[in-house]
């Protein structure tokens, strides 16, 4: 420990930053967790580097280390945990252009011009930045509209439309310094008024996990180049809620009315302009010559839509009909993992499937019945069969082990126990339970449904499977638009829904399990859970967040409004004829730095 340098660093920061620095110095969090948390609260990269240097390196094996996201590259042969920034095509940075931190020998200048064809799952609905629910829409919107905070070359949160941000002493006010000189494709300058109008629309829609975090009028626009967020209460993770990892929060123009879609009114500040859109077949996006980040090397990109199942996408990829795949699964896509012409982008993520059970009506109102179903899950088999080990067993709560706020001591891991499941059903007075398990025709979900069905039958739970296309499933089974109050109160009794990656649990909890959450298909309502979540939200230091999350983990594991058997690694990738591509585990593929090799 270089105490002189450490003390000098400590004296130059505020209370929120100081708590984090001291948590790292005392090895309460790992280096990876410090970097991730540091970027959230607005520590600069030079400051983060200075702290790490002063404290001395660690091997990331300290308490609470959940290993953050990891990437693989090349030939598809890299296993989880190999080198490379999360979701980038190569080592930290990108795989291509000079000046990035790519691995020695992998960088080239790249060719100018050309196009890239990208395979997307067909969007489930229109391209509404606020109301969208599927990864395809998330990915397309992110090509044109941008976020205050984006994906950095190292896979962590980084400056987007905001160049920097910082909280006040208690985390109730966050100030974002906006990038100057940014132009809207439709004309006009980007200012803090656009940020305020976007946030007001999100508050009105009660979407994006911002409920209870900000209210209408929360953004002070006194300075056109500064957006000051006055929160409803302290929040230690707020920048993530206005980042690419909260997909419904891209900044749209001040006059962009609720319900406007990208395909209906193309606009944005991003590197690509939508010039053609067909909901059935795909889209064309061309270079935005006025992009603040400079013109892209590629002239255009073509989005090609595919129906359910990864097989046709994989065939198209191997046959050269497409150059990149937004997402593929191990099942049906394993051939790409060993394709020497394919660059695998693998992200360790909190991406998961939730098996929701209605807590307010039907056959799962007794938590003993919900626990019984959860005890039939063969989690290890799921990880092995569905992902060939590229996943991690979960414990029926939404806080992933790599999150800095995860409490590894709470609660004990639930494992398959058919005898216990039978006893719980008997205690609840339930026999010959029959239910329909609804599922989306997406990735490995149909096979997951079959595994759940088989294991449940061992305990006397008879499940009939109903697998539907996404455009039917979301609106008919998971979260029907009506009745609208409370949200999702028309949901089916039992089903499996997909949730994309978030580096913090805020959206998962606020939307899916908090009372009257906008995606609360289980209709779960728990004051202890709501209180623990409020405690977490107002916590700005790591210890307090971890204490609150320990309570959340225990409550969700005990009440089981959702079964959550695993978190899995997100798989994407592209032809080795291209470089400089980055992805999130939310279906967003960034190609503004991409080029042909």
* 216: number of Cβ within 10 Å: 12
> How do residues 175-195 score in pLDDT, each as one tens digit?
999 999 999 999 999 999 999
Question: How do beta strands 282-287 and 272-278 pair?
Answer: antiparallel
3-state secondary structure of 456: helix
* 501: number of Cβ within 10 Å: 23
Question: What is the phi/psi pair of residue 377, to 5°?
Answer: -65, 125
Residue 47's pLDDT is 80
Residue 166's pLDDT is 93
Q: What is the DSSP string of 266-287?
A: ---SSSEEEEEEETTTEEEEEE
Q: How far apart are CA 130 and CA 537, in angstroms?
A: 23
> How do residues 325-348 score in pLDDT, each as one tens digit?
999 999 999 999 999 999 999 999
Is the preceding peptide bond at 449 cis, omega within 30 degrees of 0? no
Question: How do beta strands 570-575 and 342-347 pair?
Answer: antiparallel
Answer yes or no: are the C-beta atoms of 593 and 94 closer than 8 Å: yes
> How do residues 482-514 score in pLDDT, each as one tens digit?
999 999 999 999 999 999 999 999 999 999 999
Q: At CA 86, angle to CA 81 and CA 92, rounded to 5?
A: 100
Backbone CA torsion sign across 94, 99, 103, 104: positive
The C-alpha R_g of the chain, in whole angstroms, comes to 23
Q: How far apart are CA 271 and CA 284, in angstroms?
A: 13
Q: What percent of the chain has pLDDT over 90?
A: 74
Query: Per-residue confidence at 4, pLDDT binned at 50, 70, 90?
Result: low
* Res. 73: pLDDT tops 50: no
Q: How far apart are CA 80 and CA 348, in angstroms?
A: 7
Query: Per-residue confidence at 2, pLDDT binned at 50, 70, 90?
Result: low
CA 355 to chain centre: 18
Query: Per-residue confidence at 23, pLDDT binned at 50, 70, 90?
Result: confident
Q: How far apart are CA 246 and CA 212, in angstroms?
A: 16
Position with higher pLDDT, 382 vs 30: 382
Q: How far apart are CA 179 and CA 465, in angstroms?
A: 50
3-state secondary structure of 7: helix
Q: How far apart are CA 478 and CA 495, in angstroms?
A: 7
Least confident among 184-188, 309-313, 329-333, 585-589? 309-313
Q: Could you tell me the two tokens for 109?
A: 């200048």
Query: Per-residue confidence at 307, pLDDT binned at 50, 70, 90?
Result: confident
Is the preceding peptide bond at 411 cis, omega within 30 degrees of 0? yes
Answer yes or no: are the C-beta atoms of 329 and 568 closer than 8 Å: no
Q: Name 277's bridge partners.
A: 283
CA 208 → CA 193, 223, 530, 557, distances in Å?
20, 26, 17, 24
CA 133 → CA 54, 246, 474, 519, 528, distances in Å?
44, 11, 8, 10, 28
* Res. 83: pLDDT tops 60: no
* Res. 33: pLDDT tops 80: no
Q: Could you tell me the two tokens for 224?
A: 């056109």
Residues near 187 by beta carbon (within 8 Å), at least 6 away in sequence: none
Q: How far apart are CA 572 and CA 587, in angstroms?
A: 9
Q: At CA 149, angle to CA 5 and CA 533, rounded to 5?
A: 85
Q: Any alpha helices (H) in 330-461, and if so which ranges?
A: 330-337, 367-375, 379-387, 418-427, 445-458
Span 340-367, average pLDDT: 97
Least confident among 88-92, 129-133, 274-278? 88-92
Query: Per-residue confidence at 3, pLDDT binned at 50, 70, 90?
Result: low
Question: How do beta strands 282-287 and 300-306 pair?
Answer: antiparallel
Position with higher pLDDT, 404 vs 436: 436
Query: Per-residue confidence at 98, pLDDT binned at 50, 70, 90?
Result: very low
Q: Could you tell me the two tokens for 256?
A: 């962009």
CA 360 → CA 188, 220, 433, distances in Å?
49, 40, 17
> How do residues 135-179 score in pLDDT, each as one tens digit?
999 999 999 999 999 999 888 899 999 999 999 988 999 999 999
Q: What is the pTM of this model?
A: 0.86
* Res. 69: pLDDT tops 60: no
Longest dimension (CA), the chain: 69
3-state secondary structure of 25: helix
* Domains contained in the chain, CATH given: 3-55 (no CATH), 115-125+262-336+570-596 (3.40.190.10), 146-242 (3.90.76.10), 352-568 (3.10.105.10)
Q: How far apart are CA 350 and CA 306, in angstroms?
A: 25
> How do residues 240-254 score in pLDDT, each as one tens digit?
999 999 999 999 999
Residue 511 DSSP class: I
Residue 9's pLDDT is 64
> How do residues 516-541 score in pLDDT, each as one tens digit?
999 999 999 999 999 999 999 989 88
Least confident among 11-15, 86-90, 180-184, 502-506? 86-90
Answer yes or no: are the C-beta atoms of 493 and 357 closer than 8 Å: yes
Write out the E strands in 92-236.
115-121, 149-151, 157-159, 162-167, 173-178, 219-220, 226-230
3-state secondary structure of 243: strand
Query: Of 236, 163, 169, 162, nearest to 198 (Cα)?
Result: 162
Q: Which residues of 87-118 are buried (b: 16+ CB within 10 A; e: fewer)?
A: bbbbbbbbbbbeebebeeebbbebeeebebbb
Q: How far apart are CA 506 and CA 341, in angstroms?
A: 38
* Res. 77: pLDDT tops 50: no
Question: How do beta strands 115-121 and 324-325 pair?
Answer: parallel
> How do residues 252-303 score in pLDDT, each as one tens digit?
999 998 899 999 999 999 999 999 999 999 999 999 999 999 999 999 999 9
**Number of residues that this document lists for the chain:** 597
Query: Per-residue confidence at 57, pLDDT binned at 50, 70, 90?
Result: low
Position with higher pLDDT, 29 vs 221: 221
């Amino acid at each position: 420990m270089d105490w002189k340098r450490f003390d000098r660093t400590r004296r130059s920061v505020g209370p929120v930053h100081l708590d984090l620095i001291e948590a790292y110095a005392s090895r309460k969090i790992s280096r990876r967790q410090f970097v991730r948390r540091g970027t959230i609260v607005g520590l600069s990269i030079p400051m983060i580097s200075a702290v790490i240097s002063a404290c001395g390196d660690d091997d990331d094996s300290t308490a609470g280390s959940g290993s953050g996201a990891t990437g693989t590259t090349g030939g598809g042969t890299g296993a989880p945990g190999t080198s490379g920034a999360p979701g980038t095509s190569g080592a930290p940075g990108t795989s291509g252009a000079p000046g990035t931190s790519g691995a020695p020998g992998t960088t080239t200048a790249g060719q100018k011009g050309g196009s890239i064809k990208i395979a997307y799952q067909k969007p489930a609905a229109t391209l509404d930045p606020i109301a969208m629910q599927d990864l395809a829409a998330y990915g397309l919107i992110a090509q044109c509209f941008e976020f205050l905070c984006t994906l950095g070359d190292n896979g962590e949160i980084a400056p987007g439309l905001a160049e920097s941000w910082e909280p006040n002493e208690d985390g109730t006010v966050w100030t974002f310094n906006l990038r100057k000189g940014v132009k809207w494709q439709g004309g006009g300058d980007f200012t803090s008024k656009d940020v305020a109008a976007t946030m007001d629309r999100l508050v009105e829609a009660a979407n994006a996990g911002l409920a209870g975090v900000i209210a209408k009028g929360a953004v002070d626009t006194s300075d056109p180049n500064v957006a000051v967020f006055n929160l409803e209460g302290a929040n230690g993770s707020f920048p993530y809620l206005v980042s690419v990892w909260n997909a419904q929060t891209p900044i749209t123009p001040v006059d962009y009315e609720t319900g406007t879609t990208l395909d209906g009114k193309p606009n944005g500040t991003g590197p690509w302009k939508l010039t053609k859109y067909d909901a059935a077949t795909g889209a064309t996006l061309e270079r935005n010559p006025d992009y603040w980040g400079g013109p892209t090397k590629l002239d255009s990109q073509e989005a090609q839509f595919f129906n359910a199942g990864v097989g046709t996408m994989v065939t198209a990829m191997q046959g050269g009909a497409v150059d990149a795949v937004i997402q593929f699964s191990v099942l049906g896509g394993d051939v790409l993992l060993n394709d020497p012409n394919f660059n695998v982008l693998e992200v360790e993520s909190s991406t998961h499937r939730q098996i929701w059970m209605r807590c307010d009506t039907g056959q799962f109102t007794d938590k003993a019945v919900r626990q019984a179903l959860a005890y039939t899950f063969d989690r290890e088999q799921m990880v092995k069969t569905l992902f060939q080990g590229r996943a991690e067993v979960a414990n029926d709560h939404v806080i992933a082990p790599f999150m800095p706020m995860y409490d590894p001591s709470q609660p004990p891991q639930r494992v398959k126990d058919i005898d216990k499941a039978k006893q719980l059903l008997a205690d609840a007075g339930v026999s010959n339970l029959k239910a329909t398990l609804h599922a989306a025709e997406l990735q490995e979900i149909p096979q997951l449904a079959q595994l759940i069905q088989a294991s449940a039958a061992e305990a006397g739970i008879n499940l009939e499977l109903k697998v539907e296309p996404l455009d039917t499933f979301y609106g008919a089974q998971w979260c029907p638009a009506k009745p609208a109050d409370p949200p999702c109160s028309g949901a089916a009794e039992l089903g499996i829904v997909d949730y994309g990656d978030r580096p913090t649990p805020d959206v998962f909890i606020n939307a899916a399990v908090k009372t009257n959450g906008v995606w609360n298909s289980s209709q779960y309502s728990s004051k202890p859970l709501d209180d623990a979540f409020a405690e977490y939200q107002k916590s700005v230091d790591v210890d307090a967040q971890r204490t609150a999350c320990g309570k959340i983990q225990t409550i969700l594991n005990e009440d089981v409004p959702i079964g959550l058997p695993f978190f899995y690694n997100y798989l994407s990738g592209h032809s080795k004829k291209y470089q400089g591509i980055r992805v999130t585990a939310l279906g967003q593929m960034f190609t503004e730095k991409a080029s042909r090799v």
